[in-house]
Chains A and B, each alone.
Chain A
Amino acid sequence: MEIRRPIEPLLWLLFSAGGVMSALLAPVVLFLFGIAFPLGWLSPPDQARLLAVIGHPLARLAIFVVCSLSLFHWAHRFRYTLYDGLQIKHLNGAINSACYGGAVLGTLAAAYFVWRIP
């Protein structure tokens, strides 16, 4: 029988918060910078404009929160995808460390890059 860990509800909370954040912001960011600008449908903002937008304290906070929560969303969902899809239960420990560890490292990286915005 699996031992219930008290951290599980927190992980589900991070999962759903990240799900909302990524659902709200990922489509527009990926569409603009991933498709519309490279294909020339729209012209990208110049660097000064972009810097003015993402350098605002609220934008910095938003970028950090979106990045961190989205990574925890990924970690939780991908862990269960591997669990259900591939049924590799014997690797559970390694998968959990890789997923949540990756999310923690990504959160630190997000903090660093957001801090470094001039």
Chain B
Amino acid sequence: MNRHVAYTPYHPRWHRQRISTYWWLGRRSYFLFILRELSSLAVAWFVVWLLFLVRAASGAASYQQFLEWTRHPFVLALNIACFAFVCLHAVTWFNLAPQAMVVHVAGRRVPGWIIAASNYAALAFTTAAVVALLLLRW
């Protein structure tokens, strides 16, 4: 036996049951969980998309080119899919907000539905603001 037993920072391994890589396909709630987590890819695409738009907006020709590009079937399909995922993200996010945010006013806890409702009100406000800024006649 080795008498020079050195300290190692490695912890002994626990026994763990191996789980299939496709564990999330078995149950509806697991599947929805993975869909919700995958919505982050749609969020990333939204940023890339927004930056494309910002870059294209600097010139009349490039803006026209951008608008034509959005009519391409592949781009259109990608955007429709991403819109669906982004909506899933928004709904699940706002519905979870009451659990994540505990607000006390005058010593009493603000009910969850008020927190969720104020989040949806903020969504309605920003949506209306963007539409008004871009589309309404001043």
Contacts and interface: CB of A to CB of B under 8 A. Distances in A.
A22 B89 contact: yes
Contacts of B83: 27, 30-31, 34-35
Q: Is the interface of A mostly helix, strand, loop or mixed?
A: helix
Contact of B46 (A26, A37, A109): A26
A30 B82 contact: yes
Contacts of A73: 40, 43
Nearest to A56: B133
A29 B50 contact: yes
A47 B57 contact: yes
Interface residues of A, number: 54
Q: How large is the interface on B (under 10, 10 to 19, 20 to 34, 35 or more residues)?
A: 35 or more
Contacts of B21: 85-87
Contact of A70 (B44, B59, B130): B44
A40 B117 CA distance: 32
Contacts of B110: none
B83 to A, nearest CB: 4
B108 interface: no
A19 B131 CA distance: 21
Contacts of B55: 113, 116
Given A28-B131, A37-B70, A74 B43 contact: yes
Interface in A62-98: 63, 66-67, 70-71, 73-74, 77-78, 80-81, 84-87
Closest 7 CB pairs of A and B: A34-B79, A77-B40, A23-B90, A74-B44, A81-B37, A38-B70, A26-B86
Interface of A: 1, 16, 18-20, 22-35, 37-39, 42, 44-45, 47, 49-51, 53-54, 63, 66-67, 70-71, 73-74, 77-78, 80-81, 84-87, 106, 109-110, 113-114, 116-118
